[in-house]
Structure 1
Amino acid sequence: MKKIHLFILFLIINFSGLALGSWLMGDVVTGEWYSNLNKAPWTPPGWVFGATWTLIMFCFSIYLTYLFSIRKSKFVMLIYSFSVLLNVSWNYVFFNQHLTVWGLVNITLLTLVIIYLFITFRSDYIQNLKYLLLPYIIWLCIATSLNAYIVFNN
């Protein structure tokens, strides 16, 4: 029963983070600034972002449930909190403040944090569950490339 509670807690935190990030970016996606950016040719349509983040946060919540079941420490909590902060703040930095270079720094740090989780916590119990982080890592690599394209082509 403890795992169910953890899973629900992580779902709430992760999806709340997405909602907060969305709120912090405002209506910029439909606004003039974003519309006028020279975006990468591989930029997916808008609906892909919502579907992808839903899958990512579901998988991430499962991974975190097992990680915190076997390795509940202040260090792990700090890494997770830092990842949530980076994830939420990127929307504000990039979309709301139009600080594309700082957005690139932010999303690069987030990518490194998630890769750190993938590499570091690999006990026998969670070894195969680390692959639940792959959608997150892949998407962050795509998002980083999209952000980098804007930085270097605008």
Structure 2
Amino acid sequence: MPIALAAAFAAMVAAVGGTMTDLGPWYQSLEQPSFKPPDWAFGPIWTVVLALAVLSAAMAWRAAPNRGVRDAILMLFLLNGVLNILWSVLFFAFRRPDWALFEVLFLWASIATLIIVLWRFARMAALLLVPYVLWVSVAAALNLAVVRLNPSFG
């Protein structure tokens, strides 16, 4: 997977996810946990996380021992991108943080799976995904807190 293709896919994930993210009146009306970072921090954090994922994908692609492994890597990153976008759709477009909370488990698992798979032949590529799984863990905790603090969900 050339780095340009990985970067284009990550940019598409970021753009679609960003388009789905509406911080308007509905979001502002939600009770938020005290540990939530400021809204302005999310863009830079996601930019770093996705840039590291691009590097990870390119490194893993190059290190893959054969075409079957490269195809599996591609499918895992594609699935992860779809799950990343789906979380934004569920939380912001559908306004269902409770559904997004369920879905974030699959997003987290997709990153963990990538780390485990890549660790076998591209350890640096796997390590580059650690900030991603950590950030999604924070996002999941924020998501859980929003569901608990806003009794209209769940």
TM range (shorter): 0.7 to 0.9
Aligned to 2:123: 127
Question: Quick one: which amino acid aligns to residue 50 of structure 1?
Answer: G
1:95 aligned residue (88, 92, 97): 92
Match of residue 17, structure 2, among 16, 21, 25 = 21
**SS state at 2:33 partner:** coil
SS of alignment partner, residue 44 of structure 1: coil
Where structure 2 has 5 or more consecutive residues not aligned to the other structure, the ranges are: none
**2:40 is matched with which residue?**
47
Question: Given the alignment, which residue of 36, 49, 61 partners 2:54?
Answer: 61
Who is 1:110 aligned against? 107
Q: Work out the CA distance in 2 between the residues paired with 1:120 and 1:77.
A: 12
CA distance in 1, matches of 2:76, 2:116: 13
Structure 1: gaps spanning 5 or more residues: none
CA distance in 2, matches of 1:52, 1:105: 22
Q: Does 1:33 align with 2:26?
A: yes
- TM-score, with structure 2 as normaliser: 0.87
For the residues of structure 1 that align with 2:87 and 2:97, how far apart are their CA atoms? Answer: 9
**CA offsets per residue over residues 22-59 of structure 1, 9 Å max, x none?**
1123xx30x22111111111111112111111111111
Q: Deviations over 1:97-153 (max 9, x none)?
A: 1111111112221111101111222235x1133111111011000000000111122
Runs of 4 or more above 4 Å deviation: none
Distance 1:79 1:101 in 2: 25
Identify which of 56, 73, 83 aligns with 1:86: 83
| Number of equivalenced pairs | 146
CA drift of 1:84 comes to 0.6
Alpha carbons of structure 1 residues 108 and 34: separation in structure 2 relative to 1, 3 Å: same
RMSD: 1.5
Output the amino acid matched with 1:8. Answer: A
Q: Percent identity, please.
A: 24
Tell me how far apart the structure 2 counterparts of residues 123 and 85 of structure 1 sit (CA, whole Å).
24
TM-score (norm 1): 0.87
